[in-house]
Amino acid sequence: MNIGKRKLFSINDEPLSLSSSPTKKRFLQFMPFNLKSSFVQSDICYLSQIPTEMRDLILLKLSPHELHQLASTSNEYFSIVLNFLRSSMGTPYLKYILETTPDRRRSGAWENLGRLYGLMTSLVPLLRRIQIIKDVLFTKLNLLGDGTSIEDLSHIGRFFGEATRHWSEREIAWAFSQLDSHIQLKKKIDRFYSCEHVGIETQFEHSIRFCFRLVYFDSIRLHAHRGCLLNVILYKQPIWFQARLIYLLFGPMSLNKIDWEKFSRDRTNFFIYPNVDEEQAYFDLSRAFNVLNRSVHAQKGWNSNSKLALLNELIAQPVPWKSEYVAELLFYCGRELLTNVLIAFAIKNYHKEYAQLINSLCIVARQRKAYYEIIQMAIDDSFERCTLIAQRNSIIIHLQNAFRCVTRNVIAVLASSTITQTDQLHYLQQLEALDAQKASLISFLLTNQFDQNN
């Protein structure tokens, strides 16, 4: 059939019909449809034609996420949602959205509200934005920011983290100074600076920790904003107090109080993995170090040397840490900081400390190949800083003594009459791994080549 011709469509009789009439054929007719221009106008906002009372009742039934989508549609809808939140229906809407009953849970309500207000305040000046956030949190919702209610602090942080998600670091730092009139974190930190001893006023220490962690850190998504806010409270403080404040904010807790002596106690067995609370403390402390150089606002004051000085002060708060705890924290902080610590020991001729740290790193590595590779690369970058042969020999001697001391302790445990067969096998494996690692490290220190078989 020729493509240029119109196709013919057949209309056949019913299959069961016995009629012998020929098949009828006709053309398929297309009816033209004329769209009127009034039906395709895209600039009409039908909500604006509804009375205000009815429109508010409609918006009252929408979730914050749906209001956010509606306000993002056009300028007209943006103005309608903004006027609704500013009206007398705004406060009842907030309380209704945040209301929780046994048969209804509001999952993510605070985050969605913060995201909505972040959009609604995006076109106003910074001071007006901060004032709107303060009015919502402390006037309309009557939240307590002084630390007396942990739940209120969590709500403030979840709202604040989403509302300021697209702000610059300068705006974040300014928002901290404006919100502090309600939270009073700076005032509490100044009082903590004057405390001669730690661990006495536990409730006061809890208040500082929760005010910062819940409002300005845990609910903040961007690492740059976290580093900016952490730098705000550390700025112009003495280095010893910066370290004490880091421990207060991110250190371990035990029995609902900050455990200031956790890392100075002897652990019965460093060959086993730390418990969940201890690992969480290492993770939190490492986050404090990692976010400092993620912020442009904080990079000017925190380079590798200043972070190394902060670590040296931290592992002495309030009493010196055991070397194994320091090794655990360095693995969490990353290879760069670990290497800088070994380089500092090598340059300052702290041979005993250098060897003890390597020994502790090998112990807490617990036969994990990736950790052994980190140790080897750190030694490769740091041992060359010792130019004198006598200094290298001194490190080797201290390293042998450190491994010998650990081996002696393991043998004493194996000689105990109460040890089980499973523990005995575990300690024998650890003893073999330590011996192999010692041989590999000393081989490198002498020949600059690692024994890959170990």
DSSP string, 177-201: HHHHHHH-HHHHHHHHHT-SSSSS-
> What is the pLDDT, as a whole number, of residue 334?
87
d(CA 287, CA 306): 16
For residue 13, what is the DSSP state? Answer: P
CA 11 to chain centre: 70
* Beta bridge mates, 177: none
C-alpha dist (Å) from residue 223 to 206, 287, 296, 298, 431: 24, 9, 11, 12, 41
Dist CA 247 CA 196 (whole Å): 16
Unique residue bearing structure tokens 């403030």? 156
Find all residues with CB under 8 Å of 343, minimum gap 6, and list them.
381, 382, 385
Domain boundaries, the chain: 47-166, 168-321, 351-453
Q: What is the pLDDT at residue 13?
A: 47
Going by the DSSP 8-state scheme, the letter that residue 448 receives in this structure is S
Please state, in angstroms and rounded to a whole number, the distance separating the CA atoms of residues 431 and 406.
9
- The pLDDT assigned to 424 comes to 74
Token pair recorded at residue 234: 């550390």
- At 353, is the secondary structure helix, strand, or coil? helix
Q: Which residues contact 116 (CB under 8 A, 6 or more apart)?
A: 64, 65, 67, 68, 71
> What's the CA gap between 406 and 144, in Å, rounded?
52
pLDDT by residue for the chain (454 residues), tens only, comes to 455 444 444 444 444 444 455 555 555 454 554 545 444 445 555 777 788 888 888 888 888 888 898 888 888 888 888 888 888 888 888 888 887 655 555 668 899 899 999 999 888 899 999 999 999 999 988 888 887 888 899 999 999 999 999 999 999 999 999 998 899 999 999 999 998 888 888 899 999 999 999 999 999 988 989 999 999 999 889 999 999 999 999 999 888 889 898 898 877 666 677 888 889 999 999 999 988 878 887 777 788 888 889 999 999 888 889 888 999 999 999 888 888 888 888 888 887 788 788 888 877 877 677 887 788 788 777 777 766 665 666 667 767 766 766 666 667 767 777 777 777 777 777 777 766 666 666 666 656 544 444 4
Alpha carbon of residue 36 to chain centroid: 55
Please, what is the Cα angle at 264 between 382 and 312, to 5 degrees? Answer: 35
What token pair was written down for 382? 């740091």
On the CB side of 176, how many CA atoms lie within 13 Å of its CA?
24
Distance (Å, whole) CA 199 – CA 251? 12
Phi and psi dihedrals of 205, rounded to 5?
-65, -40
The kind and range of the H/E element at 258 are strand 257-258
pTM (predicted TM-score): 0.77
Which distant-in-sequence residues (6+ apart) come within 8 Å of 452 by Cβ? none
Helix (H) or strand (E) holding 210: helix 202-216
| pLDDT for the residue numbered 27 | 54
**How many other C-beta atoms lie within 10 A of the C-beta of residue 3?**
5
